[in-house]
Amino acid sequence: MSYSKPQFKEKYGNFINGKFVDPVGGAYFENRSPVDNSLIAKYPRSQKEDVEAALDAANAAKDSWGNTSAAERSTLLNKVADIIEANLEEFALVETCDNGKPIRETLNADIPLSVDHWHYFAACIRAEEGSATELDANTLSMNIREPLGVVAQIIPWNFPLLMLSWKLPPALAAGNCVVLKPAEQTPASATLLMEKIADVFPPGVVNIIHGFGPEAGKPLASSAKVNKVAFTGETTTGQLIMQYASKNLNPVTMELGGKSPNIFFNSVMDADDDYLDKAIEGAVLFAFNQGEVCTCPSRILVQDGIYDKFMERVVARTNAIVQANPYDTTTMVGAQASNDQFEKIKSYLNIGKEEGAKVLCGGEANKLDGDLANGFYIKPTILEGHNKMRVFQEEIFGPVVCVTRFSDEAEAVEIANDTLYGLGAGVWTRDAHQLYQIPRAIKAGRVWVNCYHAYPAHAPFGGYKKSGFGRENHQMMLNYYRQTKNMLISY
Ligand code: NAD
């Protein structure tokens, strides 16, 4: 089945104080689809004045919103989930058009997962109970949680609606007002969501500001009108955001880059065919969803005993991947999200070749037919080399997997941990001892064992080392958006 490009208006505004408004300076930027480089629409090129207007709206709304009951907030979060679900196909199409990922992914993963995150935090906030204990017969000790006030959220382009849905629900459930800046490469689904839910929250509770990092993101993260900054994006940008927020002594959460290892032990080849097929898919498909996933298993480590046989199957499976029109439901791999990203990946392919990595498959751009020839497609690529190479160490964020071998458990762990990052990791083994001991030894916030790329709302997610700090998802997330007050009440 094939879909086609959805319809857009000529231009869209920021969403501030419950309505769409033009940017103060009147400047817009063109947003283009990476599928075929066609124009999608124009979005506000917001500046400090726009950010200030959104922050003023959020500050005006915060006391009233912060005093709503958990039940009221929970009802509204569930309403958002229902609205996204009722328009699932429209959101999926807009996301595919804006980001280039295949409709198979947006229909089956990005949008349904977004729905679930809204429902999850609607449930969490209701399930909470306050705690009160007696200090003595006359004194009650009570902890209450209060919202922080106004939260700035800045998100990347790789999962536009899902990253928004990781960020907004816990902040709103905890009683905060939010100003969120989507990535300039993918403003469309956040805008569509505001169109659909414009009347759900009181004005000022949710505000969306479009624009570029230095022009709109920086004044947002630096503002004294903000009580917290939650950021997802590149590690180097995260370092800047921390500097901006530190001026106001504001807390930050940092969800940053990764270079995740996916480790295959000898026992993988002894297992039954079903398991082996799953492991091959684990090496291939989870790496090649454009490779634009922070936890992309971009380093494959294979034990000596199975290296040749296993890699033969991995390469054959990679060569069979269908990279085609992202609007076709049979397409496995779509377009890279932008021309910049496309150029960056091609430059890393050159770096890899220059430093001596062997190209096992792919290794170049893919010129598709017709209008798609203008889109940004890179062939799924496997580079063979060693872990000290730049292509093994630096985040390429494309469909480029680097493979190397190891002899024993100690070496597997050493290579896995030999990177600045610590976001995700995969371990594939049939050995009971390794099931637990290898994940324990890996310095990463999420380790999948005999699976990969599941992101349930209840599983805490976040980085070690330069992949960031703080966690997303799980009920604990609410406390990243609140402060605790203890009251000792004597009578
Ligand atoms: P990016 O850092 O370039 O941009 C992210 C956001 O920050 C965008 O909205 C951008 O406009 C804004 N920004 C850029 N410069 C800024 C500045 N000086 N001040 C304020 N805001 C600024 O990242 P990207 O290229 O959009 O996204 C890809 C990166 O995101 C990868 O490194 C990926 O690993 C990471 N990521 C991490 C997670 C996670 O949960 N750890 C999830 C998804 C993506």
ipTM for the complex? 0.96
Q: Count the Cβ atoms, other than its own, within 10 Å of residue 306.
A: 19
By C-alpha distance, which of 54, 5, 59 is closest to 32? 5
The predicted-structure confidence for 94-140, as pLDDT tens digits, reads as follows 999 999 999 999 999 999 999 999 999 999 999 886 667 788 888 88
Q: What is the pLDDT of residues 445-485, one digit of tens each?
A: 999 999 998 999 999 999 999 999 999 999 999 999 999 99
Model confidence at 141, in pLDDT bands (50, 70, 90)? confident
Tokens of 12: 């869209």
Determine which of 50-54, 79-83, 234-238, 288-292 has the lowest per-residue pLDDT on average. Answer: 288-292
The pLDDT value recorded for residue 233 is 97
Span 46-68, mean pLDDT?
A: 98
| Residue 382 pLDDT | 98
Looking at ligand 1, which residue's alpha carbon is closest to its atom 10?
A: 213
CA angle 369, 345, 34 (to 5 degrees): 45
- 294 flagged as catalytic: yes
Q: Which of 237, 465, 473 maximizes ligand 1 atoms within 8 Å of its Cβ, making it the mutation to test the pocket?
A: 237
pLDDT of residue 4: 95
Contacts (Cβ under 8 Å, ≥6 apart) of 382: 300, 314, 315, 318, 359, 360, 361, 362, 400, 401, 402, 403
Measuring CA to CA, which residue among 268, 260, 300 is closest to residue 283? 300
Q: Region 10-14: what's the mean pLDDT?
A: 98
Atom of ligand 1 nearest to the CA of 236: 2
Is residue 221 predicted with pLDDT exceeding 70?
Answer: yes
Nearest one of 117, 97, 200 to 157, comparing CA atoms? 97
Residue to mutate (ligand 1; options 99, 232, 342, 466; most atoms within 8 A of CB) = 232
Percent of the chain with pLDDT over 70: 99
What pLDDT is attached to residue 289? 85
Per-residue pLDDT band at 397 (split at 50, 70, 90): very high
Q: What angle do CA 468, 470, 475 make, to 5 degrees?
A: 145
CB 118 within 8 A of CB 91: no
Run of H or E residues at 232: strand 228-232
Task: Provide mean pLDDT across the span 84-98.
Answer: 98
The reply to whether 255 belongs to the active site is yes
| 3-class secondary structure per residue, 253-271 | EEECCCCCEEEECHHHHHC
Q: What separation in Å is there between the alpha carbon of 280 and the centre of ligand 1?
A: 30
As for ligand 1, residues whose beta carbon falls within 6 Å of it are 154-158, 181, 183-184, 212-214, 217-218, 221, 232-234, 237, 240-241, 255-258, 294, 395, 397, 423, 463, 468
Whether the CB-CB separation of 467 and 259 falls below 8 Å is answered with no
Q: Which residue of the set 95, 184, 215, 255 is catalytic? A: 255
